[in-house]
């Protein structure tokens, strides 16, 4: 029996590997890459799907976006939403993780309670929160009344609607951040804390000098992950406010959804999607490059 040449073995090894990942690659290509490429293609056309007609517009859709005040406002709302939810949810997640890193009774139960929103359907949770925010019967106003504070209009006010959506989203994201930070905390060698304690460092100093810097890669991941989802916010806005009142909570994905499915402007909606894609790509790259400075190795 002759020996199989190493290069042939190598090749076969690769073929096996590719065969194993092929189903995922095919599905990913079919349902992610192909639609994305089609969106890019459509963004240069006026698309009339039912008539099967595409009219080439060049960059007209993109030029239209520059002058579109509704899209600009939607972008601003999306940025406000992301700027609020990402740091707040990350900070709260980190604080909770530090607390949960200690031992106390019913810790696992509380951890599950905090994580529950993450595994709850956004739509179902938003419907419940819609009732919590109800000015007449909602729990939040009942609590305010018990504290002798005036009831708030919450989602019914153009000024309070976006903050109300942000509060909901923070609640929804917190559990995930908590778990990620907890994993990050548990990876920090305990010797560092022991050495710092021997050197006389207090708990705040240990947190600021050890925990915070060594959690930087985790923080980067949490920021990137939360940013991507924040820029794509849709479900909760759709359910809680529908983009109102007075477009106060209209965000980019909701706007492109309306352009596509309310006004049937698929080309224009595709251009909006491409702008959002480039934006997310840019922010992610920026965060990634910047975060490499903080990489740590134990």
Partner 1 sequence: MKWRPVVWFLVTALALTASIVSAQPRRTITLWYPAGDIAAGPVSPFTDPNLFAPFEATNNVKIEMVGVDYDTMVQKIFAAAAGRNIADILFIDTSWLPGFLKEDLLQQMDSAKARKWLADVVPDVVDLSDYGSRTMWGYPQMGYDIYGLTWNKAQFKEVGLDPERPPATWDELRDYGKKLAKRDAQGNLVRVGLAIRHVGNPQGTVHKFTWALWGAGADIIDNPNLLHGGKPAFNNAGGLAALKLYLDMLNVDKTTSLSFPDPRAALLQGIASMQISETVSIRARQPKEAPNMPWGTGWGMAPPPVRKTGDRPGVLLGGWLFAVPKSAKNSELAWKSMDWLNSEINDYTIARRFDLTPRYKANWAKDPFRSDSYDQALLKIARYGRRLPINLGLNGVLDSLGFAIQKALHGEATPEQALAEAERLAQKAIDEAAK
State the residues that interact with partner 1 by CB under 8 A: 48-51, 70, 134-136, 150-151, 153, 155-159, 241-242, 244-248, 258, 261-264
Nearest approach, Cβ of 261 to partner 1 (angstroms)? 4
Q: Which is nearer to partner 1, 116 or 149 (CB)?
A: 149
Nearest approach, Cβ of 170 to partner 1 (angstroms)? 22
Q: Distance of alpha carbon 162 from its chain centroid, rounded?
A: 16
Q: Which is nearer to partner 1, 68 or 277 (CB)?
A: 68
Nearest approach, Cβ of 175 to partner 1 (angstroms)? 29
Q: Which is nearer to partner 1, 155 or 178 (CB)?
A: 155
Q: Which is nearer to partner 1, 229 or 268 (CB)?
A: 268
Nearest approach, Cβ of 270 to partner 1 (angstroms)? 14
Q: Which is nearer to partner 1, 80 or 284 (CB)?
A: 80
Please report, for residues 147, 188, 219, the alpha-carbon distance to residue 213 in angstroms, rounded to integers and kept in the order given.
40, 10, 9
Nearest approach, Cβ of 223 to partner 1 (angstroms)? 32
Q: Which is nearer to partner 1, 206 or 247 (CB)?
A: 247
Please report, for residues 82, 129, 236, the alpha-carbon distance to residue 132 in angstroms, rounded to integers and kept in the order given.
23, 5, 14
Nearest approach, Cβ of 265 to partner 1 (angstroms)? 8
Structure tokens at 82: 């992301």
| Contact (Cβ atoms closer than 8 angstroms) between residue 214 and residue 136 | no
């Amino acid at each position: 029996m002759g020996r199989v040449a190493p290069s042939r073995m190598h090749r076969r090894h690769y073929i096996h590997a590719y065969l194993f990942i092929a189903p995922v690659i095919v599905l990913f290509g079919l349902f992610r890459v192909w639609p994305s490429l089609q969106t890019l293609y459509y963004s240069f056309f006026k698309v009339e799907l039912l008539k099967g007609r595409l009219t080439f517009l060049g960059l007209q859709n993109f030029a239209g976006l520059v002058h579109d005040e509704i899209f600009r406002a939607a972008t601003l709302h999306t940025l406000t939403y992301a700027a609020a939810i990402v740091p707040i949810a990350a900070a709260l997640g980190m604080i909770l993780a530090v607390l949960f890193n200690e031992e106390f009774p019913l810790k696992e139960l509380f951890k599950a309670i905090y994580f529950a929103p993450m595994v709850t359907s956004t739509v179902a949770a938003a419907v419940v929160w819609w009732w919590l925010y109800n000015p007449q019967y909602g729990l939040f106003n009942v609590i305010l009344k018990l504290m002798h504070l005036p009831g708030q209009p919450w989602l019914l006010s153009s000024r309070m609607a976006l903050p109300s959506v942000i509060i909901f989203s923070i609640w929804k994201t917190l559990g995930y951040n908590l778990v990620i930070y907890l994993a990050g905390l548990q990876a920090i060698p305990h010797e560092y804390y022991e050495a710092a304690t021997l050197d006389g460092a207090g708990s705040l100093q240990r947190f600021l000098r050890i925990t915070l810097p060594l959690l930087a890669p985790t923080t980067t991941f949490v920021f990137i992950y939360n940013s991507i989802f924040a820029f794509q916010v849709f479900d909760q806005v759709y359910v809680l406010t529908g983009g109102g009142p007075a477009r106060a909570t209209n965000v980019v994905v909701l706007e492109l959804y309306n352009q596509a499915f309310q006004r049937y402007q698929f080309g224009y909606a595709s251009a909006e999607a491409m702008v959002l894609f480039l934006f997310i790509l840019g922010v992610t790259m920026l965060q990634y490059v910047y975060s490499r400075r903080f990489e740590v190795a134990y």
